[in-house]
Amino acid sequence: MKTLTKYKLNNLLTVIFFSLLVLSQSISADVTASVDREYAYEGETITLSVTASNISISGQPDFSPLAKDFELFGTSQSSSISIINGKRSDSQTWSIRLRPKKLGQIDVPSIQVGQHSTLPLTVDVKPIPVQTGVQQNQSIFITLEIDSEAKQFFVQQHIPVVARLYYLNEVTQGMITDPQPENATVERLGEDRKFTAPYNGKSYKVFERRYSLLAEKSGDLTIPAISFRGYLSKQQPQQNKGQRYDPFSQFFDRSPFSTSSSPVSVLSEPITLFIESQPDNFDGAQWLPAESVELSDSWTSQPPNFKVGEPVSRTISLTAKGLLASQVQPLELPDQPAFRRYAEPAETETRTDGQTVYAISHRTFTYIPTAEGNQEIPAIEVKWWDVINSRQASAMLPAWNIQVAADPNQDAKPSAKLSKKQAAEMPIKADQNSVADTQSNSENATQQANEESENIPDLSGALETLKQHPYWLAGFILLIIILWLLRRGKNGGNIQASTNPLPASSKSNAANTAAIKVDMVAEKAAIDAFNRVCQIKDDNGHNDIRAVAQALLKMAEATWPESPPRSLGALAEKVSSGKQALLDLDRVLYAGSDKLWNADEIRQYFKNGFSRPAPSTKQEKVLKPLYPD
């Protein structure tokens, strides 16, 4: 009995021993999660570590639940073995870099590791403290300034604005917001710049960006503050001389898991300006608030020679500092009675030197003299507003006194100033003169033959003698026939020569072709000008109806120079298609609703010029159409 009791007691002690052993191993084996910081600023990253101690884990932790509230970066893994007082401890650690997606309290969910899981955590994400303006000993700040010598600012004036970011340590990444004022447009100028500059006794690195600001209305204008948000490298502490060099510290500082850069957010001061309206004393044709305006003339370097009927080209260029190309209207010149002048569409562009903008406009004019002798081409003046000195100024091109030479072939060909009708009539008159000359030459030849026949002596006596000698008579008759045939052949050749076209008629036809070519050049220039006017639209897609109507009448003047229509109604009577469109345009023009008009329909009718009504009699087509369908 005692032996049995003792046996049961030993079995009980053995069970208790093994139970305590298993329990101790269960308590020492666990999986935990931790973060390197309890709070972080917006944009900063934190490191989450998951550690499995005294347990064998196959596979990787499941970090996918973190993607809901965090941006996930790369992971790393490490293992460690430690023996303390003869007791061994094994552990595995997985680390992942996280960037919170929102502010406030964010829950880090439980992470599953094999059959084990971690406890949830909480991270507090705070907004970045914003530094406004410039403060003493500040490591980074941003400024917004007006970079202009102007004392006043006017509506539609280019106002140069510059943003500069000053920083001591390297900026790893970031973004500057562009200024967004109301009632103004802002465009970037050129490329961004980087340089160093002293400020408050320190040498700063500077990032510079320039803008062009155009105020759309007068009055107070506020340019809101701009901001920079990014990451600034932390200044690493210098290593003490007695401190042992650790090569691994530099490696980990440069690794993607280091926290050597910190997020920053800085804000500039806003700017308030007063925008002046257009001055009442400005009397220019168009409002041009600029720093400078210059005119140049192609004739200055290459003065041309003028001759009646021969076209001469002239290119006038305008360069305005501080304006956009859209602010400069095409240059117009006054009409001159001694010339026929045609203008090509203006070529405009906007350029920048990184500091300001330049509007550049080129326009070519064709002059065709219609009268010889001394002629004057008047001076050209463009009035503009000097924004630096707040006064009106003018850009000038001097007048030209020129000598127009006569056309040496004016007797053989029509001059360039003749109308199409006159030029067309000249070949007909020349042909009539040719016929008249042919008839006159034929009559003169007949008269000459009669006179020569009267000078033939009387041979009646000789004929009586020849009758008595028949052989002599036959020979005499044969001689008379031969002489008659020779005389007829000579007169016939003269008549045939006189019926050929005269050289004057050929010259007249060539002159007529030259006159038509001159008119075709003028018509093409007018068509190009009309198409360009139709392509200029406002923000709502509407055209300037008065400019379109004027371009149509200019094109009609080039098409029918002998009798140009002076109104849209008169023009409608001359065209074969698009008549109703012209009448509708005329009605809208005088109804006062020109702001709600679109030129697309009327351009479809006349983009290639006017189609003339078919003539009543058929005529041979001499020239190919200028704009074939």
Tokens of 389: 């000195």
Measure the CA–CA gap between 109 and 96, rounded to whole angstroms.
Answer: 14
- Per-residue pLDDT reduced to its tens digit, 547-576: 888 888 888 888 888 778 877 877 888 888
Q: Which pLDDT score, from 0 to 100, does residue 158 have?
A: 92
Of 24-33, 150-159, 449-458, which has the strongest mean pLDDT?
150-159
Query: Cα–Cα distance between 153 and 159 in angstroms, integer?
Result: 8
DSSP structure class, residue 68: G
Task: Give, in words, the CATH class of 131-235+257-275.
Answer: mainly beta
User: Is 478 buried (19+), middle (13-18) or exposed (0-12) by CB count in 10 A?
Assistant: exposed
Contact indicator for 412, 504 with CB cutoff of 8 Å:
yes
Of 83-87, 220-224, 245-249, 296-300, give the lowest mean pLDDT range. Answer: 245-249
Mean pLDDT (whole number) for 153-163: 93
In the predicted model, what is the mean pLDDT of residues 150-174? Answer: 90
Q: 55-69, 102-116, 415-429, 596-610 — which is least confidently predicted?
A: 415-429
CA distance 438 to 435: 5
Cβ atoms < 10 Å from Cβ of 447: 10
The pTM assigned to this predicted structure is 0.48
Residue 304 has pLDDT above 80, yes or no: yes
CB count within 10 Å of CB 445 equals 16
Six-digit token pair at 468? 């008595």
Distance in angstroms (rounded) separating the CA atoms of residues 406 and 499: 33
Torsion of CA 100, 106, 112, 118, to 10 degrees: 120
Phi-psi region of 104 (alpha: psi -120 to 50; beta: other; left: phi over 0): left
Tokens representing 103?
């502010």
Residues whose CB falls within 8 Å of the CB of residue 531, separated by 6 or more in sequence, listed in order: 603, 607
> Which comes out higher in pLDDT, residue 40 or 289?
289
Q: Counting every residue, how long is the chain?
A: 629
Tell me which of 2.60.40, 1.10.8, 3.50.70, 1.10.3470 is the CATH number of domain 287-405: 2.60.40
- Percent over 90 (pLDDT), the chain: 23
Is the pLDDT assigned to residue 612 strictly greater than 80? no
Query: Above 90 in pLDDT, residue 282?
Result: yes
- Write down the CATH number for the domain with range 28-126: 2.60.40
Least confident of 42-46, 54-58, 61-65, 295-299: 54-58
- What is the rounded distance in angstroms from the CA atom of residue 402 to the CA atom of residue 415? 19
Helix (H) or strand (E) run with residue 556 in it:
helix 545-559
What's the mean per-residue pLDDT of the chain?
75
Residue type, 323: L
Q: What is each CA distance from 125 to 1, 233, 446, 571, in whole angstroms?
A: 73, 20, 124, 76
Beta bridge partners of 231: 173, 263
| Residues 6 or more apart whose Cβ sits within 8 Å of residue 443 | none
Q: Where are the domains of the chain?
A: 28-126, 131-235+257-275, 287-405, 515-606
Q: What is the pLDDT of residue 170?
A: 86
Distance, in Å, from the CA atom of 227 to the CA atom of 611, rounded to the nearest integer, reads 61
Q: Which residue has tokens 């030459």?
A: 441
Other Cβ atoms within 10 Å of 592 Cβ, number? 7
DSSP 381-424: EEEEEETTTTEEEEEEE--EEEEEEPPTTTTTS--TTS-HHHHH
Residue 214, pLDDT > 80, answer: yes
Closest to 559 measured CA to CA, from 427, 424, 422, 420: 420
For 344-347, the CB contacts below 8 A with 24+ separation are 344/525, 344/528, 344/529, 345/528, 345/529, 345/532, 346/532
Please, are residues 125 and 104 in contact by the beta-carbon 8 Å criterion?
yes
Top pLDDT among 498 and 369 is at 369
| Topology match between the domains 28-126 and 131-235+257-275 | yes
Q: What is the pLDDT of residue 591?
A: 54
Q: What is the pLDDT of residue 619?
A: 39
